[in-house]
Amino acid sequence: MKLDILSLSLPDVKRIRTTRIADVRGYFSETYVHRDFVASGIVEKFVQDNQSFSAAAGTVRGLHFQIPPFAQAKLVRVLRGRILDVVVDLRRASAGFGKHLTIELSADDGDQLFVPVGFAHGFCTMASNTEVFYKVDNVYSSAHDRGLNWADPALGIDWPVNESRAILSEKDRALPVLTALPDYF
């Protein structure tokens, strides 16, 4: 598999482009081959796959993370639709602490986003009937599940939907702001 790994503005977060072989039927792509990812420097071994479906554009999921010992790295891709994907660096010792990056991912481009441990992750759907698929390198643990408020003004994230029109779970709406988070990472 040919991987094109692109570094982004936050250390260790990577955009991954895989080769698509297209013909009259459509295309074929190997989206994950462990040895190829390891050879490219992404050594995490993914142990769980997750998929979400959002019916409406403007649905926000996140910003989520798990704390040690169940912290998770993620490999995210869009199966249908389009999202604005957002990560926030929560690593206190990092020069990027509290900074975020946004990246658009779509089923059309097939790109993936690698999110290492120590980052909050979330997204906003930019199309109806959007499906997102992601691999994680640790199992889900409700006791270690945490989050960061998506609309924290201190983060300065330019979401494609305003706060009054965003569709969120009550849990996500009540998440704390960055200054209220303990030192998890």
Q: What is the DSSP letter of 86?
A: E
User: Whole-angstrom Cα distance, residue 69 to residue 144?
Assistant: 8
Cα–Cα distance, 156 to 123 (Å, whole number): 15
- From the list 134, 140, 144, 184, the catalytic residue is 134
**Catalytic-residue membership of 34:** no
Other C-beta atoms closer than 10 Å to the C-beta of 150 total: 25
* Residues pairing with 58 in the sheet: none
Are 124 and 161 spatial neighbours (Cβ–Cβ below 8 Å)?
A: yes
Quote the CA–CA distance of 146 and 119 in Å, as a whole number. 11
The string over 29-61, giving b where at least 16 C-beta atoms fall within 10 Å of a residue's C-beta and e elsewhere, is eeebeeeebeeeebebebeeeeeeebeebbbbb
One of 32, 34, 64, 100 is an active-site residue; which one?
Answer: 64
64 is catalytic: yes
Q: Which residues are catalytic?
A: 64, 134
